[in-house]
Each structure stands twice: as structure tokens, then as C-alpha cells.
Amino acid sequence: MDKLPSRHAISEVMTWISLMENVIQKDEEDIKNSVGYKAIHEYLQKYKGFKIDINCKQLTVDFVNQSVLQITSQDVESKRSDKTDFAEQLGAMNKSWQILQSLVAEKIQLLEGLLESWSEYENNVQCMKTWFETQEKRLKQQHRIGDQASVQNAMKDCQVMGLGG
């Protein structure tokens, strides 16, 4: 078996890993500056797509790692320096591959946590809006502006929410 397809596959995987690392690095600051459930959800979907891409590329990584077993058993006459070079490339590819897998897994975990926090925040904001709308309607329904008991009750409600003094 010739080493050329394996070397070409290593080169392709390394190029793809480099592209992915650049995208992840670029996204780093953008994710930190993202606001809202929708924005975080979009990044989460993007990184779940990356995980699918990684799973597809795993076939190529497995091919290269399997081919090295076939090469060493069949190509005993090969130059030692050529074998060393190939082994170094393979080692570098496997290390970069594992780092990329970890980066994407960590990013997904981070984004899932952020998504949960944004969901909770936006639900709380909606509850507050609803509460304020209800209070506004109650105050508008009061027939007399000077109804002291109604005003005191509204003030107590506001104090309960930590809004009044």
C-alpha cells in the first residue's frame, strides 16, 4: 500500500482542522457579545453542525490511522526517515484532532448553559412585563384618583416586587 493517499488525507484533515480552529477563534468574541436566546441558539446550532462534521471526518482520521498499520506490515524496506516523517505527521494530526473535538464539545456545553440562562432571563422579563401590565390596568380601573386604600395597596404590591420605597 502506498503512503501517498494517507499523506494526502492527513494534509486534508489538517487543513480542515485549521479552518475550524480559525472559525472557532473568530466566534469566541462574537459569542461573548451575543445577546438573547435567539443569537445563542443560532451559535448552538452552528456548533452542533460542527460536531456532525467532525463525526463525518472521523472516517478519514480512522482511515489514516488504519492505513499506518497496513503500511508498516507491508513496507518493511521503506526509508527510516520517511517512516519517521509520516509518524510525526500522523501524531500531529491526531493531537490536533483531539484538541478540535474538545474545543467543539466545550463550546456546545458553554452554549447550552448560556441558552438556559437566556431562556430563564427572558421568561423572567416576560413575567415582569405581565405583572406591570396587570398593575397598570388595576390602577387605571380605579374610579377615584384619591382613593387612599387603592393607592396604598398598589404601593404594597410595588414594595413586594422591590420597586417602591
Cα angle: 10, vertex 6, 69; to 5 degrees: 115
pTM for the complete prediction?
0.74
Query: What gap in Å lies between CA 15 and CA 65, rounded to an integer?
Result: 17
For 112-145, how does the pLDDT look when each residue is reduced to its tens digit (9 = 90+)? 999 999 999 999 999 999 999 988 888 777 755 5
Query: What gap in Å lies between CA 12 and CA 6, rounded to an integer?
Result: 10
DSSP 165: -
Question: Span 45-71, mean pLDDT?
Answer: 90
For 3-47, how does the pLDDT look when each residue is reduced to its tens digit (9 = 90+)? 568 889 999 999 999 999 999 999 999 999 999 999 999 999 999
> What residue segments make up the domains of the chain, in order of their start?
4-116
Distances (CA, A) of 3 to 74, 77, 153: 11, 13, 83
Classified by CATH at the fold level, domain 4-116 comes out as Methane Monooxygenase Hydroxylase; Chain G, domain 1 (1.20.58)
